[in-house]
Homo-oligomer: A and B are copies of this chain.
């Protein structure tokens, strides 16, 4: 299959740190809690990243359970990540601004054998687009900055 291009646009909202991101006709308002200078009107971007990861794992589980012969009665996943705010707030040397580690715990309700369920978790890890992007990283290319009049 050819490459598929996904797109989003994010704009600042009025005042504070609140922003609105859009992809197709779907929108997400993001902000920061008051402790990080925002007004807490929405989820923050690093939480959104964790949500994208958990959602991608869950959708892969739902999409492939049948073909992997897993009886999937229920599924949820807890994701957490550690970040040192000194990295992005202060640009402190030696502290990365991003996540230092991301962990997840999958919860699966199934009458399939434990071995099969374990193998299914590996399958999900290997196929999940967000997992692959986060764990291996991706080349990010800046376009020419546009200075609007």
State the A residues within 8 Å of B (CB): 1-12, 16-17, 19, 21-24, 26, 28, 30-32, 37-38, 42-63, 74-89, 91, 96-110, 114, 117-118, 121, 125-149
Contacts of A60 in B (CB 8 A): 88
Docked CA distance A51–B49 (Å): 9
- Contacts A10-B77, A102-B139, A136-B96: A46 and B50 contacting too (C-beta < 8 A)? no
Q: What DSSP secondary structure best describes chain A's contact surface?
A: mixed
Pick 8 A–B contacts, CB within 8 A, sort by A.
Answer: A6-B46, A9-B79, A11-B75, A21-B55, A60-B88, A91-B126, A105-B144, A134-B138
- Contacts A43-B26, A134-B133, A138-B135: A50 and B143 contacting too (C-beta < 8 A)? no
